[in-house]
Amino acid sequence: MSKGNIAGITVGVVLVAGILGWVSTAPYLSNEGLGRTPGIIIGGTVTESPGDFTPLNDLHRGPLMMKQAGFPPVVVYLSWVGTPDGVITATRPDGGYWAQRVRDRGGDGLLRIGDATYEMTAIEIFGEERVAMMRQWAGGRSIDVAPYEGAEPLRDWEVFFWTPRS
């Protein structure tokens, strides 16, 4: 076997190992909180959406997982709050990939809360309704201050509302 063949095989093995490692570990939670590296596997059991998402607030603390429809598959963790009609999520207004995909391609996707995965559709919320939903999402925190250093005040964050897909 030539040195070129050995080098090609080595590069191929390293690439496959890297991709498999990424698929099996991302998305992830970093030590600082929510990770911003997307993954592709959401897991959970596809479940019929509840008539009211509010009880999930007490049952499942922490972020949910969201997987968008289409290619490439993208799974990220999101902060959320359940309402009687759906789920509110929010993101920094920093041109994030998943928010742009909702705008450009539509909001079909999956939300995993606990072990249940729901088929949902997101729409971006604007105006006073956005501010009201942001207050609900913030859970008593002031929306006029940044939640952490380097972030924009919550009042400026983008809000998306997810409802069950029919």
pLDDT in tens, 33-60: 444 455 677 888 899 999 999 999 988 8
Domains of the chain: 3-164 (2.30.110.10)
Using omega within 30 degrees of 0 as the cis cutoff, is the peptide bond preceding 72 cis?
yes
pLDDT of residue 32: 42
Using left for φ > 0, alpha for ψ between -120 and 50, and beta otherwise, residue 14 falls in: alpha
Tokens of 138: 């913030």
Give me the torsion for CA of 125, 78, 62, 84, rounded to 10°. Answer: 30
pLDDT of residue 48: 94
pLDDT of residue 21: 66
Stated pTM of the model: 0.77
Residue stretches of the chain with pLDDT short of 50: 27-36
